[in-house]
Amino acid sequence: MAQPASNSKGGAKVPRKTISKPVNFLFGGLSGMGATAITQPLDLVKNRMQMSGLGGAAREHKSTIHATIKVARSEGVLALYTGLSAGLMRQATYTTLRLGIFSSLMDMCSNDGQPPRFIVKAGLATVSGAIASFIATPTELSLIRMTSDGRLPVDQRRGYKHVFDALYRIGKEEGVLTLWTGYRPTVVRAMVVNAAQLASYFQAKQFLLSTDYFEDNLFAHFVASMISGFVTTTISLPVDITKTRIQNMKIIDGKPEYSGAIDVFTKTVRQEGVFSLWKGFTPYYARIGPHTVFTFIFLEQLRKLYWRHYS
């Protein structure tokens, strides 16, 4: 991403070199994978809570803590890391692409090291999210199924060994196109998440650094990340719930459980109430917040190392 312009002795702005596109993509993937390795249990709990109450059944989990304890007791503590391989694979594809494309587009739209306006940031984030999410939908589907498997009756569990086993079996047993089940809400969610997360993070960081209270350090990155995480959670959670339920739906009497995103949305509201669209808000924010923090902290530190040694 473009860095702020430095000043020469004569006062003229001299923009620094931009980070090469391959390095942008590499840093994006490494940042996302590092964050996922830390926050995977929160993603599993979030998915379990979103599936709770499905089909009008009684809620399985009363709270985030209740869900975490129940999973640990019934399936073992290590079960909280179920689907880690899918989570890492998703970051290696989705986050590599979304941050890499966004960083490259930001470089193209920056003027002498000065970042573009907020509306431009949001547009660039939307485009990068749409492209990345479509390509990475199979890993997203694998992650949803693997983290939801433990809540099913034993005879109905899919029992994927790892992400490659999931991808292979889904393609072989259900058809290759099944790997893109729910791609529409997945793409929509990614567009919403990226527009909210990336644009709000860089806008919040830009604002914080313009005040007298913040410097470009870990604390500023942390505050900007938490602001971004809250905005992203509030806006994107209803879309995320819709996506999760579509990707985990069953085939009943030869027909899919849902006909599409609108069907999921209306059935959820009718059977469980409007506020069920924000079910799992705490674990979702608990995941989005730290994941956003770790992703951007890792990204910022990798960029600083790059500038220190290669600028």
pLDDT, tens digit, 9 for 90 and up, residues 68-122: 888 888 888 888 888 888 889 989 999 899 988 998 888 888 877 677 888 898 8
pLDDT band at residue 240, thresholds of 50, 70 and 90? confident
In a domain, 7, yes or no: no
pLDDT for 246 beyond 60: yes
Structure tokens at 307: 């500038």
55 part of a folded domain: yes
> Which pLDDT score is estimated for 2?
47
Cα-Cα-Cα-Cα dihedral sign, residues 302, 304, 305, 309: positive
Residue type, 139: T
pLDDT above 60 (res 15): no
b (16+ CB within 10 A) / e for 143-181 = bbbbbbbbbeeeeeeeebeebeebbebbeeeeeeeebeb
Which pLDDT does position 18 carry in this prediction?
Answer: 66
Q: Provide the pLDDT for residue 61.
A: 63
3-class DSSP assignment, residue 114? strand
CA proximity to 306, closest of 112, 20, 50, 11: 20
Count: domains in the chain = 1
109 assigned to some structural domain: yes
Percent of the chain with pLDDT over 90: 21
- The answer to whether the beta carbons of residues 44 and 71 sit under 8 Å apart is yes
Q: What is the CATH number of the domain that holds 266?
A: 1.50.40.10
Mean pLDDT estimate for the chain? 82
How far apart, in whole angstroms, are the C-alpha atoms of residue 56 and residue 217? Answer: 48
Return the number of other C-beta atoms located less than 10 Å from residue 192's C-beta: 20
Count of Cβ atoms closer than 10 Å to residue 308 Cβ: 8
- Tell me whether residue 14 is in a domain: no
Structure tokens at 274: 């409007």
Asked, for residue 224, whether it belongs to a domain, the answer is yes
Asked if residue 70 is part of any domain, the answer here is yes
C-alpha count within 13 angstroms, C-beta hemisphere, residue 207? 13
Distance CA 79, CA 71 (A): 7
- Do 93 and 136 contact (CB within 8 A), yes or no? yes
| Of 216, 211, 235, nearest in space to 296 by CA | 216
Task: Please give the residue that has the higher pLDDT: either 298 or 273.
Answer: 298
Integer Cα distance of 221 and 56 in angstroms: 42
Between 25 and 244, name the one with better pLDDT.
Answer: 25
- Does residue 17 form part of some domain? no
Helices (H), the chain: 21-51, 64-75, 84-90, 96-109, 118-148, 163-174, 183-210, 218-247, 261-272, 281-310
* Core vs surface per residue 44-59: b (16+ CB within 10 A) or e: bbbbbbbbbbbeeeee
Distance in angstroms (rounded) separating the CA atoms of residues 186 and 134: 7
Is pTM beyond 0.85? Reply is no
The residue segments making up the domain with residue 69 are 24-310
Among 22-36, 247-261, 271-285, whose mean pLDDT is lowest? 247-261
What pLDDT is attached to residue 60? 64
CB 38 within 8 A of CB 290: yes
Residue 40 within a domain:
yes
State residue 52's pLDDT score. 65
User: Each residue of 162-217: pLDDT tens digit?
Assistant: 999 999 999 999 999 999 988 888 898 889 888 888 888 988 998 999 999 999 88
